[in-house]
Amino acid sequence: MGQRHDLSRVLQVGELLFRRQGYHHTGVEEILSKTDFPRSSFYYHFKSKEGFGKAALEYYSENILAMMRKCFQDPSEESYLQRLQNYFYMIADYNVSNSFNSCCLIQRMAIEEGSAPGELQEAARKQFGRWFVVTEKCMQQAQDRGEVRADISADRLTRMVFDLVYGESTLSRVDREAENFKSSLDTFFQLIRR
């Protein structure tokens, strides 16, 4: 198959457009024109824009999970706490280097779809849950090693760091203060260190 039928390319372009413009502000025609992907192939593979949105969420999530695993399972870094820091500071640096113009797709979908239950909202929840499990495991390993305080569960600490990172990424899109993002991470990691 040539580029016209490259599923990974159409998913890559679609997820990037969704992150930058939002799901509701990105049309199928724009995705097709930017990828030269045939309309008939699009509807054959994805059935609808919503079906494509779910596939784009999964594609995006798999890429993030690969980065998480690379950081959280890095054999060259003995400290699990440092592995967590490496990952979350990388996220902060990415946001800063992109001038906070590229939102996390799962965050974007969750915000756009709001409280209305639907397939996209459920797909975003499912993918986010996968990230949470991987992160919580690393947090638990940091606790087991005595690197992180154990008086708060690994589940709760993971929720706190996710709240912080996704909250800061939203606030930073408004105030454009890169140092606030990193300062909040610094504070979190100081507070959880044992």
Domain membership of residue 58 as a residue range: 3-192
% the chain with pLDDT above 90: 63
Nearest to 15 by CA among 53, 66, 44: 53
What is the C-alpha radius of gyration for the chain, rounded to an integer number of angstroms? 18
Least confidently predicted of 45-49, 106-110, 146-150, 182-186: 106-110
Judged on CB neighbours under 10 Å (0-12, 13-18, 19+), 94 is middle
What would the pLDDT profile of 1-34 be if each residue is shown by its tens digit?
A: 444 468 999 999 999 999 888 898 999 999 999 9
Q: Write the single-letter amino acid at 170.
A: T
> Domain of 81: which CATH number?
1.10.357.10
* Greatest Cα-to-Cα distance within the chain, rounded to the nearest angstrom: 57
What would the pLDDT profile of 42-76 be if each residue is shown by its tens digit?
A: 999 999 999 999 999 999 999 999 999 999 999 99
pTM here is: 0.86
Residue 158 has pLDDT above 80, yes or no: yes
Contacts of 23 (CB under 8 A, 6+ apart): 53, 108, 109, 112, 113, 120
Mean pLDDT (the chain) is 89
Q: Phi-psi bin for 79: left (phi > 0), alpha (psi -120 to 50), beta? A: beta
Angstrom CA distances, 141 to 65, 134, 161, stand at: 18, 11, 16
The per-residue pLDDT for 4 is 46
Residue 111 has pLDDT above 60, yes or no: yes
Number of domains the chain is built from: 1
